[in-house]
Structure 1
Amino acid sequence: MITILGKFEMAKRTPPLFMVVRKELESWIKEKNYRPGNKLPSEQELSEIFKVSRVTVREALRTMEEDGIVVRSQGKGTFLAERRIASILEANIGVTEMIETMGYKSGTLSKKIKRQKANLFLADKLKIEKDSKVIIMERIRTADDQPVAYTIDVIPWWIFSLKALSVKEFERYESIYTFLEERCGQIIKDSTARLSAVTCPDIAEKLNLQKDTALFVIEQVDTDQNEQPIVYSREYFVGRFFEFKVRRRRTPGFFMEKSKISGTGKGKEEDKKTNTS
């Protein structure tokens, strides 16, 4: 005999119909070998395939869209979304690691390496003398042969000189971090990075995008255990392929206290004006 409580417990364990359909639809997509960007059948066609109402199919697709599995466009249809490469900003991992961690095959579509003198900007970033030699590597990075990022990495020449390494040895490495650790004995301890969104027509074109496409940019300086900068980089990421996550902690009054300590608060400025005679 099933009690009312028992029926309630059974009801809790039984998933809603749209969730059952979603699970079946996800399996069906894999069986049919759909690729990112492929268009799915219409709601009506899916309702006939799974023998449920269009309302149920619509709800299943809605939850899949919320989870980033599909993309729906009014008047165009539903498409399988690109699988995004997720990265937690607190963890400093290279582009190669980002791509491979998500199960993609990392590659390089084009690579350009040059040796030149550091201008004032690079000299300041790498804490070296102006006109010191640096190695600059520019690459179009791919995930499963699809262009997903454009990276510019700058390394001071003194790192190569320490081990008498050639640029050709550097070329053979897919990961700069691996090269630094394995061949140069340089361990990156800390990094300071800035994330922003920009439009850069020249780089967008190199990534097969419209010129006005916005890109994520991470500008970063990596330092060794002696706080000496050893890499300056600018990495441009295609937004539909990447997502960046950051853990944030609520710190009430943080900027107010920082302002008091640094002496940059408005109050001090007003005091100075008041005391000027």
Structure 2
Amino acid sequence: MIDKSSPLPIYYQIQEMIRKKMDAGEWQPGDMLPSERIFAEEFEVSRMTVRQAITELVNEGLLRREKGKGTFVAEKKLEQTLQGLTSFTEDMKARGFEPGNILNYFRVSEANSDTAKALNMKAGEKVYEMQRIRLADKEPMALETTFIHADLIKGLSEKVAGKSLYSYIENEQNLKIGFANQTLESAIAAEKEAELLGIQAGDPILWISRMTHLQDGTPFEYVKSAYRGDRYKFSIHMPRDGR
């Protein structure tokens, strides 16, 4: 119930009521919430107050709005720690999800200046280029465009691209992957990205660039990925020296 005499703002009380229902399992991921009008009538408050409460939870990633449909309980976010280098396939399996791929394209192309710089090669040299929609339990999680140094990694094909590249490189090519440098930044989904990821244009995404190196330090992979901001989050353990 809403206590209008409480010093707590009404929108906050509504927000916490919704949160408690989700925590108790009364509203499950995918369930649609009552409309703002129904909430407003139930609590005898303005729809603007209800909208503020819901917006706060949308911003937290606990709810999601679908234009023309309503407000739904969001799926829980997958959390990936930024410690150690794992493939998407390895990461999903470790979390109990069935990994999958939809291969949009696979081709041999000429490296442009950005790709050539990332892979320490000359512009115009050959790279394998592929774009995959990465899936967890058949749901799109990320749109990933990958460039592989063609002179270093041999025998790539569409069949290989549908599986774990790291497994192929280490087990079939007998090469040892050493480390990667990765950057993350927030962005909003363009129309094409949104369409492929099953979200709305303008929805938040995590934009990630990664350069992966063999054990001897030679760069072999350049990846640009768009992760769904409503389904993915990253965490990092940061020990202080000497503690």
Task: Answer whether TM exceeds 0.5 for this pair.
Answer: yes
Aligned counterparts of 2:64 and 2:126: Cα–Cα separation in 1: 50
Amino acid at match of 1:112: Y
Quote the residue 1:226 is aligned against: 216
Whether 1:127 and 2:129 are equivalent positions in the alignment is: no
| Residue 198, structure 1, aligned to residue 187, structure 2 | yes
Q: Which has the larger radius of gyration?
A: 1
Whole-angstrom CA distance in 1 between matches of 2:71 and 2:126: 52
Structure ranking higher on relative contact order (CA contacts 8 Å, 6+ apart): 2
2:166 and 2:142 map into 1 onto residues whose CA distance is 17
| Number of aligned residue pairs | 195
So what's the TM-score if we normalise by structure 2?
A: 0.69
User: Given that residues 69 and 80 in structure 1 are in contact (C-alpha distance below 8 angstroms), is that contact kept between their aligned partners in structure 2?
Assistant: no
Report the TM-score, using the length of structure 1 for normalisation. Answer: 0.61
Could you tell me which residue of structure 1 aligns to residue 95 of structure 2? 102
State the identity as a percent: 24
Q: Distance in 1 between matches of 2:61 and 2:118?
A: 40
Cα separation, 2, equivalents of 1:186 and 1:180: 6
CA distance in 2, matches of 1:214, 1:80: 17
Is the CA contact (8 Å cut-off) linking 2:81 and 2:234 kept in structure 1? yes
Structure 1 contact 109–147 (Cα < 8 Å) conserved: no
Structure 1 residue 113 displacement after superposition: 0.5
Q: Greater helix percent: which structure?
A: 1
Deviation track 1:179-202 (CA, whole Å, cap 9, x = no partner) reads 111112222111111010112412
Residues 142 and 228 in structure 2, CA contact (< 8 A), matched pair in contact too: yes
Q: Determine the C-alpha separation between the residues in 2 that align with 1:109 and 1:136.
A: 14
Higher relative strand content: 2
For residue 25 of structure 1, report the CA deviation from its aligned partner: 4.3
Number of the residue aligned with 1:16? none
* Runs of at least 5 residues in structure 1 that lack an aligned partner in the other structure: 1-20, 42-64, 252-277
Instruction: Report the Cα offset of residue 155 of structure 1.
Output: 0.5
Matched, 1:167 2:157: yes
Residue 224 of structure 2 aligns to a residue whose secondary structure is strand
Alpha-carbon offset, residue 116 of structure 1? 0.5
1:1-277 paired onto structure 2 within 5 Å: 25-26=24-25, 36-39=29-32, 71=63, 80-161=73-154, 165-171=155-161, 173-201=162-190, 202-249=192-239
Q: 1:209, 1:39 → 2: CA distance?
A: 17
Q: How much does 1:91 deviate?
A: 2.2
Contact 1:150 1:203 in 2 (8 A): yes
Residue aligned with 2:152, SS = helix
- After the TM superposition, list the runs of 4 or more consecutive aligned residues in structure 1 that deviate by more than 4 angstroms: 68-73, 76-80
Q: Map Cα deviations across residues 91-125 of structure 1 (whole Å, 9 max, x no partner).
A: 22222223222222211234310110111111110
Q: CA deviation at 1:130?
A: 1.7
1: distance between equivalents of 2:200 and 2:64?
Answer: 21
3-state DSSP of counterpart to 1:100: helix
Contact 1:110 1:140 in 2 (8 A): yes
